[in-house]
Amino acid sequence: MQVLRDALLGWWQEHGRHSIPWKLRRDGALLCPDEQLDPYAIWVAEVMLQQTQLQVVLPYWQRWMEAFPSLAALAAAEEHDVLLLWQGLGYYSRARRLLAGARQMQALSPSAWPQDLESWLALPGIGRSTAGSILSSAFNRPFAILDGNVKRVLARLIACERPPARELKHFWALSEALLDPARPRDFNQALMDLGATVCTPRNPRCEQCPWQFQCAAYAAGDPAAFPVTDAPRELPFQVIGVGVVRNAAGQVLIDQRLNEGLLGGLWEFPGGKQEPGEPIETTIARELQEELAIEAEVGEELITLEHAYSHKRLRFVVHLCRWISGEPQPLASQQVRWVEPTELGDYPFPAANARIIAALLERLQAEGSAAAA
């Protein structure tokens, strides 16, 4: 174990990612082993890094820290503002849980950050690996991690013949045994950096790996064959009819999703699933009646787009609609609202809706130019 630790830390000292902003002192100086980093900044980053790569997270984290620079600032924030700042990162339940966790932490421990695993696991959206990463990064406490990069590195190190998800107990034990108790902050970061930059999912750069000659997958001759994965399952496919409903004043109708699921709390254009054999225009008219209690004339198609989530694939068929009658009611949502098209950017929408908004604004601009001519 000590040979592996020394080799990894020696490699990391020269080749690691040392410019991650939440892992640095504010003055840029080197950290002492017993020095504490900002737990809040690290917590925000670790939640953002769940399901999202570092380079994508960096600008979001910078904007977040400017808007909510402290635990107190986040705890006092409105959910609308939090979701708007998160827009584009996906998995929006992370943002809602981060807000709830900040309020919980502010109420329970406003003056001292906990340094035990149980306190962090009690927060919404914090699992064992995220908690371990926060504690080791912020406080240099000896807690192991097991994120996607680490699972891949360990699966190759021992050439595990089963998917890591089926051997979690064994992988946790291995991660804990490898952890350098004298330098847990550096070791965990080195392990993540190794997976992110050298032991990559495809085309691993084994010639640059400090563990090359201890790696069972390398000895077997095919490191990329690990980690072993289960056969991929086919994702279900659905067609969604969407109505961009405008009233006589030119305003657009949007509704806010319930606070549940991946997209909870976000705004969207109303619509729903197409039934077998149902024309898409009928789908849209039916969904507007069932979800909002309004009658609308379904007009021409605005845009069709496809979007893949982790659990399903969707095709959105979007039509312009003219509101006829009925006061919009949130029968399947939190609230509904008529807004000016130019105000749509003030509301947090799922990523797929960005193209719908762009197509709508382009259409309105063309209509305005035609009218002026």
Amino acid (one-letter) located at 28: G
Q: Exposed, middle or buried: residue 106 (CB in 10 Å: 0-12, 13-18, 19+)?
A: middle
Q: Which of the residues 46, 167, 268, 291 is marked catalytic?
A: 46
Q: How far is CA 336 from CA 151, 257, 358, in A?
A: 44, 9, 21
What's the rounded Cα separation, in Å, for the pair 339 and 151? 47
**Alpha-carbon torsion angle 322, 326, 331, 336, nearest 10:** 60
Q: Which residues pair with 163 in a beta bridge?
A: none
Handedness of CA 173, 179, 184, 190 (dihedral sign): negative
Q: What are phi and psi of 77, to 5 degrees?
A: -75, 155
Question: Are 247 and 338 in contact, with CB atoms under 8 Å apart?
Answer: yes
Q: Exposed, middle or buried: residue 311 (CB in 10 Å: 0-12, 13-18, 19+)?
A: exposed
Q: How far is CA 275 from CA 279, 320, 341, in A?
A: 8, 20, 30
Catalytic status, residue 46: yes
Handedness of CA 46, 47, 50, 56 (dihedral sign): negative
Question: Are 287 and 243 in contact, with CB atoms under 8 Å apart?
Answer: yes
- Which positions are catalytic? 46
